[in-house]
A = this chain, B = another copy of it.
Amino acid sequence: MASPAAYAAPLREMKWSPAEKAVARRAFDLALGRELEAVVREAKDRAVRIQEPSELWELERWLTERRREIDRKYDYRYSVLPLVLASLLRDGSLTEDDLRGLGQDQLEAVRRAARS
Contacts and interface: CB of A to CB of B under 8 A. Distances in A.
Interface string A54-72: 0011011001101100000
Nearest to A33: B53
Given A63-B59, A64-B60, A67-B57, A44 B40 contact: no
User: Interface range on chain A: under 10, 10 to 19, 20 to 34, or 35 or more?
Assistant: 10 to 19
A63 B59 CA distance: 9
Chain B CB within 10 A, most for which of A56, A64, A66: A56
Contacts of A56: 36, 39-40, 43, 63, 66-67
A48 interface: yes
A50 interface: yes
Nearest to A49: B44
A48 B43 contact: no
A86 to B, nearest CB: 24
A43 B56 CA distance: 8
B43 A59 contact: yes
Nearest to A63: B60
